Amino acid sequence: MPAFWHWYVAAGTILFVVWCIWLIQWAGKQGPQNVADNEVVGHVWDGDLKEWNNPAPRWWLYLYFLTIAWAVGFMIAYPGLGGFKGLLGWSQHGQYEEEM
């Protein structure tokens, strides 16, 4: 496989992880709306389904960051960045040979 594709996959993967981090930073800086907590923001669907101004639970944010950290760790440990073999040296071919 040409080196271009290894770099293409690695760059795309890294850019996506950076985008995920940027997204949560951007969403966190949006600030509160001009509506108090536990108040309807004015959107109503089907006559009875209303959108409330309740922030997401804090543990969701922590889980999001934990997922990003796990993804980075996984890509370092296993082959996940183009031609990078990973620090553990795992390969699909090696796994197959080990099982056979």
Q: pLDDT tens, 50-84?
A: 777 677 788 888 999 999 999 999 999 988 887 88
Q: Is the pLDDT of residue 34 over 70?
A: no
Categorize the per-residue pLDDT at 33 as very low, low, confident or very high, splitting at 50, 70 and 90: low
Q: So what's the pLDDT on residue 36?
A: 62
Spatial separation of the C-alpha atoms in residues 14 and 7, rounded to whole Å: 10
Give CA–CA dist 93/95, Å, rounded. 5
The two tokens of residue 82 are 């183009």
pLDDT at 65: 92
List, in sequence order, every residue forming a beta bridge with 18; answer none if it has no partner.
Answer: none
At 37, the pLDDT band (50, 70, 90 cuts) reads low
Q: Give the global pTM.
A: 0.68
